[in-house]
Amino acid sequence: MYEQRFDGRKFDELRKIEAEVGVVPNAKGSARFRIGNTEAIAAVYGPDEVKPRHFEKMDRAVLMVKYDMMPFSVPDRAKPGIDRRDMEIAEVLMNALNRAIMVEEFPQMMININVYVTQADAGTRCASLTAASMACADAGLPMRDLVASVAGGKIGDSVVLDLTKEEEDFEGGATDVPMAFLPSKGEILLLQLDGKVSKEDLKKVIELGKEGAQKIYEIEREALKRRFSNESKS
Ligand code: CDP
């Protein structure tokens, strides 16, 4: 049984969020997204010439996505360098971003998206995807919509939104469902499942995810508006 959340949140409540755009002066676009004690920074470069050339696609841009956790992002010190988990997450991010960015507008070009997790307390792929999407918008890339991403799941008998690491580890492991949406299109870009869940509960998790993503979406839009209203003043 999991009746009360460790941090006192309601089951459908997100952690505290901070979103900021334009945090890396040397990138074409960048963003920082923090949700509780999980934080990701994304930097976007391009569109540029494809290197190496054989990655080139005649009909669209190629997205090169990198995901990395800083060694100091977790209590045990993450091993520096890219491991299999980092590669899997980069692939997941790339697949989602390919459907959000209008890649068909940049044939034979390459867009580099680098995401660094500075602090990890579960949900890093979701925070990374949200940060990457804001960074792409900041870079001026044409997009079908911003991506808003959050995990949901099941702890004991309770369906919950936005799990912490402590919750993920509760009683030998919760069910974790990372999700991503294009909110204004009503499309799901990412749905992963780690653990067991009934069809009915999965529907409830997705519903919570959708509602959470809508809140994240508003925060992303506010961050982008702040950035562009500051720019027009300077
Ligand atoms: O981060 P996300 O939930 O997207 O992916 P995960 O592979 O399910 O990892 C869950 C959490 O485990 C991370 O957010 C970190 O808090 C933690 N983790 C860790 O402590 N050390 C690692 N090398 C990898 C993950």
Q: What is the pLDDT of residues 206-215, one digit of tens each?
A: 999 999 999 9
Residue 234: per-residue pLDDT? 61
In a domain, 229, yes or no: yes
CATH of the domain at 141: 3.30.230.70
**By three-state DSSP, how is residue 23 classified?**
coil
In a domain, 40, yes or no: yes
In a domain, 5, yes or no: no
Q: Mean pLDDT score of the chain, rounded to an integer?
A: 96
**Does residue 120 line the site of ligand 1, with CB under 6 A?**
yes
In a domain, 3, yes or no: no
Residue 232, H or E segment: helix 199-233
Residue 230: per-residue pLDDT? 76
Domain count, the chain: 1
In a domain, 12, yes or no: no
Residue 68: partners with Cβ closer than 8 Å, 6 or more residues away: 82, 86, 114, 115, 116, 117
Which atom in ligand 1 lies closest to the alpha carbon of residue 85?
7
Of 37, 39, 67, 74, best ligand 1 pocket probe by most atoms within 8 Å of the beta carbon:
74
Of 124, 125, 164, 167, best ligand 1 pocket probe by most atoms within 8 Å of the beta carbon:
124
Pairwise CA distance, residues 182 & 147, whole Å? 5
**By three-state DSSP, how is residue 115 classified?**
strand
110: nearest Cα among 60, 43, 144, 41: 60
* Residue identifier of the C-alpha nearest atom 6 of ligand 1: 122
Give the structural domain span for 104: 17-233
In a domain, 223, yes or no: yes
In a domain, 8, yes or no: no
Q: Please state, in angstroms and as integers, the Cα–Cα distance from residue 179 to each residue in 126, 191, 217, following that order.
A: 7, 5, 13
pTM: 0.97
In a domain, 56, yes or no: yes
Residue 19: partners with Cβ closer than 8 Å, 6 or more residues away: 31, 32, 33, 34, 130, 134, 219, 220, 222, 223
